[in-house]
Amino acid sequence: MTTRMPDGLFLDGTLTLGDLSVQPGWGRSTLNQEAAVAYPIPWEAWRIHDAYQTTLPGTAATDDLALLGGVYGTSVPSLQSSDAKTTTVTQYARCVMPLPVEYVNASAVSLMFHAGMKTTVSDGTATLDAQLFLSGKEGLVSGADLVTTAATTINSLTMSDVSYSVTSGGLVSGDVLDIRITVAITDAAGLTAVLGWIGAAYLKCGIKG
């Protein structure tokens, strides 16, 4: 049976739903925790790593990854390296991402990227690395790099999720994370273009809310 109350319902006491009691004024701490909830990192958050006031170029150059806009309705934005054919490239992008207000303090945090190679794999190596520093909120970082996962291969035309674990014991909601990624490719084949490619980026963490 369905009961409709078009004018709303006000309860002074507790609402019980099966075994769950919903009480007025519930705090977030009383909610169930969800682990590894993915928060997409916006493309516009990625900047030049050693000139953060500057947006990424549309074509990768020197030590900077490119932010490709894509063609609306056909392709979507992505990050891409320079052509590493018969050479070595090491290129970066950097972003600042806060832990969400619903983050459960000290719960597991990780970074995840959907990455691979575009057009051709390298005959040598192609890796993605990540670093993460906690902002000290006074113009300096607080502590050392919190990423514990080493650089990981992305040398495949089949893109896949690559994850990086973060030391999270001292993290709290609202903390500001300074993240830098590195695409490093070495190739000697000299055939078609050898391009590293990132199609999505996420901050994953435990939440209540």
pLDDT at 191: 78
Q: Is residue 23 part of a domain?
A: no
Q: Is residue 61 part of a domain?
A: yes
Which residue in the block uniquely carries the two structure tokens 């514990």?
Answer: 148
Q: Is residue 8 part of a domain?
A: no
Cβ count near 195 (within 10 Å):
23
Q: Which two tokens stand for residue 130?
A: 């990540």
Q: 3-state DSSP: the chain helix, strand, coil percent, rounded to 5?
A: 5, 45, 55
pLDDT at 5: 65
Q: Is residue 6 part of a domain?
A: no
Q: Which residues of the chain have pLDDT under 50?
A: none
CA-only gyration radius of the chain, Å? 22
* Distance of alpha carbon 123 from alpha carbon 129, whole angstroms: 19
Q: Is residue 56 part of a domain?
A: yes
Containing domain of residue 160, as a range? 33-207
pLDDT at 132: 98
Q: Is residue 28 part of a domain?
A: no
What one-character-per-residue DSSP string does 143-186 give? SS--B-SPPEE---SS-EEEEEEE--TT--TT-EEEEEEEEEEE
Q: Is residue 16 part of a domain?
A: no
Q: Which two tokens stand for residue 120?
A: 């051709």
Q: Which two tokens stand for residue 147?
A: 């990423």
pLDDT at 33: 79
CATH number at residue 56: 2.60.120.260
Which residues, 6+ apart, have CB-to-CB distance to 15 below 8 Å?
Answer: 21, 22, 23
Q: Is residue 21 part of a domain?
A: no
pLDDT tens digits for range 74-133: 999 999 999 999 999 999 999 999 999 999 999 999 999 999 999 999 999 999 999 999
* Distance of alpha carbon 175 from alpha carbon 103, whole angstroms: 10
* Distance of alpha carbon 106 from alpha carbon 103, whole angstroms: 9
| Whole-prediction pTM | 0.85
- Are 164 and 149 in contact by the 8 Å Cβ rule? The answer is yes
Counted domains in the chain: 1
Mean pLDDT, the chain, rounded, equals 91
